[in-house]
Structure formats: structure tokens, C-alpha cells
Amino acid sequence: MTDAAGQLSANVVNFARLLRRAGLPVGPAETLAAHWALTAIDLGDKAAMRTALRATMVHRREHWDVFHQAFLLFWRDPTAAKQAVAMALLEAQKHKKQERAPPTSRRVAEALASPRDPKPRVEEEPPVVEAVMSVSDRERLQQLDFEAMSAGEISDAKSEIRRLRLPLDMSITRRLRPDPAGPKTDLRRTIRASLRQGGEIMDIARTRRVTRPPPLVVLCDISGSMARYAQILLHFIHAVTNDRDRVQVFLFGTRLTNISRQLRHRDPEVAFQMISHIVPDWSGGTRIGESLAAFNRDWSRRVLGQGAVVLLITDGLDRPRDAAGAAELSDSMDRLHRSCRRLIWLNPLLRWDGFEPKSQGIRAMLPHVDEFRPVHNLASLRALIETLSRQAPARTPSRRIAA
């Protein structure tokens, strides 16, 4: 290897390291491919070089921006390359410390705190609690509004919630699995088995269609009026995300944020910490119409395929500025409704018996949902799970396919 080639390959390795520090999933395979790609192009052509590195090292459109920044920073001045990596390393470490430290330090603090510390402890609730809690305690907990709970009760409620499972009605796929009592014959296995009998067919192998739960998309309002519920329901959503595949979760207040990747972290404390870093509009105002429109435009085609079920969690207390705003909200809801298999609206306001959809926002949204349910205490959450497991009622109006 010549000196120049050696220099280049060292640079590629350093560049890969920089990308990795920036959070892109770049491994040795990508680095090797990048090396190889650089031998196939004219190195004097910077645009070609960028394309080559990008095609081999980046696998998602979302990562292009980060890549471009890193590329500019790194290749503008190759002699500063090492420095850049060192800087990035430092930067990343600082960042890392910031990102990781709080949950642990808080847990340490919590562990050291006096037992009377009212801070709710979340996931390390030992199962003993259940035995300690008396029956009447638990009953009271079931009926208590989330908003009226004390810190201790919230903590109990959270551990209850984490035990809930969401068994959505199964949808039938076109895949087959062996089943001795299945309705279809599997000729391939039948013939293979018959060869063991010298070609005599003794048994007919059968198959049945595989069923699997449909994809679930959760849209959760985190504006000021919903903050308390959202905090608790996030535990439920986190448990669901880790319990099954194909769950996409979005938070919205004034803007829409996809938190599916963060929620997939097993430890809820770490997951919520990461979410708080990327969600800027916690407990702020609410713009339901615009958030739903953004979802329809940017995400619906990507996550609502294959018969998804949508859980919309909001109190609907959006005050559209004018009739046009209400119409936009109604249109967005209509589009959302037509793009998914089932749209379920969970509204904590429904807890009051005399609740009437007076708010303009609620009236605009209500005609477009398949189900409208309360979600304000454990009992209602349980009831919700029961209905979700039942077969969806047939929908009469024709629907548009969004894809």
C-alpha cells in the first residue's frame, strides 16, 4: 500500500468513527464497503466521493443531513481530520454524560433518599407490593382519577399499568404454518413424508393461516391540559411497545415527534429521559389540527399500511382560531380515519357523566372516530383493553386507501 492510499484509508476509518460518534449506525462492514467504493471512483471528484461514501455508509434518508454535516466538517481540511475526530470524541463524551447520567444519578439519589421522599419510584417496584396493598386499596386505586392521585398512588398505578397487556384483535395474514387440523393441504410436506414410506401416502400434512396482531400507532397529546395523563399513559405505551412488534408512537403538542425508537429502550426511566431530550413542547399549547395534518403528510403512508389500528389520546381541547381551522381539523381527522383500519379516541374528559362535546375541536373530530372511550383511571384502561381485543365492528362507509 502506498503512503497516499494508507493516508486515505486511515481517513476513511476516522470518518467512520466520526459518523459513529454522531449517532449513525456505521460498523466495520460499512467502512470496508466505503474503502472498496473509493477505489471505483475518481477521487478528485468531491461530489462523487461524497455520493460513494453516502451510498455505502448510510442506509436511511433521515441520516443524510447528519452525514452531510460530518462530510463537510471532515473532508474540508484533511489535516484537521484528526483534530475533528478528537473534538467529536470529546463532544460525544460530553453529550453522552449528559444524556446518560440523569437516570442513574436520580436512581442513586432515590436509593439514598429517606423513605418518606414523595418522589414516585417507577419500575423497581417489587412484586411484594401487590400483597401489601389491601383489597380495598386496590379497588380504590381502580376508580381513582389519574389527576387526583397522590405521588404514592401514581407510583402504584404505574406498576399496575405495566402489567396490562394489549391483545389487539388478530388479523389473518397470508402466511401458512403447519397445523395437523388446518384447513389446507401441504403437498410438499406430504410428499416428503411419504418417501419415508416408500412413496405411500399415509398422512396428509396440513396448514393453517398465521394470525398476528395488527400494527399499532399511538398519537398522544402532551399539551398542558393532558400532561398528567400523558405521563402515566406513557408507561402503558412503553409496556406495549416492548411487548409486541410494529408499534409506532408519536407525541404532539405544538409539533409532532416520533419517539418509537426511544421507547424501544427496555428501561422506562432511560427511555423517558431520552424522550424528554427530543420533545420540545411538553406541557405547552396544543395544535391538534396541524399535528394531525403533519402526521398525515409525513408518516401515514409509512406506518399505516397493513391494517394499522390508531389510538388517539387527546382531550380535544383545541381552539381552532376560526372556521377554517376547524375545517382543517375535521379534514385531517377524516383523512386519518380513512387511512387506518380502526381509529380509537381515548379522552380523559369523558369521565364526567354530563360531558357534552361542546368544544369546537371535539365536535370537529368526533364524527370521524370508530370508538370514543374514556381513559382516566385504571378501570377505564382495563375496559379499553377488553374492547380492543374484540373484533372491530364493521365500518360502512367506503374508505380511501392512503398508499
Residues that bind other proteins (CB under 8 A): 25, 29-30, 33, 36-37, 40-42, 45, 47-48, 51-52, 54-56, 58-61, 64, 173-176, 187-188, 191-192, 194-196, 198-199, 296-297, 301-303, 305-306, 331, 335, 400, 403
Nearer to other proteins, 30 or 269 (CB): 30
Q: Which lies closer to other proteins via its Cβ, residue 107 or residue 255?
A: 255
Q: Which amino acid is at 19?
A: L
241 vs 380, beta carbon nearer other proteins: 241
Residue nearer to other proteins on the CB measure, 49 or 388: 49
Measure Cα distances from 364 to 76, 328, 331, 349 in Å. Answer: 53, 9, 9, 16
For residues 318-355, one letter each, b for 16 or more C-beta atoms within 10 angstroms of the residue's C-beta and e for the rest, the string is bebeeeebbebbbbbbbbbbbbbbbbbbbbbbbeeeee
The distance of closest approach from Cβ of residue 316 to other proteins in the complex, given in angstroms and rounded to an integer, is 22
Question: At closest approach, how far in Å is the CB of 57 from other proteins?
Answer: 9
State the angle between helix axes of 151-163 and 227-243 in degrees (0 to 180), rounded to the nearest 10: 30
Q: Helices 81-112 & 64-75, crossing angle to 10 degrees? A: 130
Q: How far is the CB of 305 from other proteins (least distance, A)?
A: 4
Q: How far is the CB of 48 from other proteins (least distance, A)?
A: 5
Residue 27 or 152 with smaller CB distance to other proteins:
27
Smallest gap from residue 153 Cβ to other proteins (A)? 39
- Answer left, alpha or beta for residue 170, where phi above 0 means left and psi between -120 and 50 means alpha: beta
Supply the minimum distance, in Å, between the C-beta of residue 62 and other proteins: 10
Is residue 398 within 8 A of residue 375, CB to CB? The reply is no
DSSP SS3 for 41:
coil
Least Cβ distance, residue 40 to other proteins (angstroms):
4
Nearer to other proteins, 86 or 187 (CB): 187
* Of residues 126 and 183, the one with the C-beta less far from other proteins: 183
Q: State phi, psi for 383 to the nearest 5 degrees.
A: -60, -40
User: Taking every pair of C-alpha atoms in the chain, what is the biggest distance, in angstroms?
Assistant: 82
- Ranges of beta strands (E only) in 165-308 are 171-178, 184-185, 206-212, 216-221, 247-252, 256-258
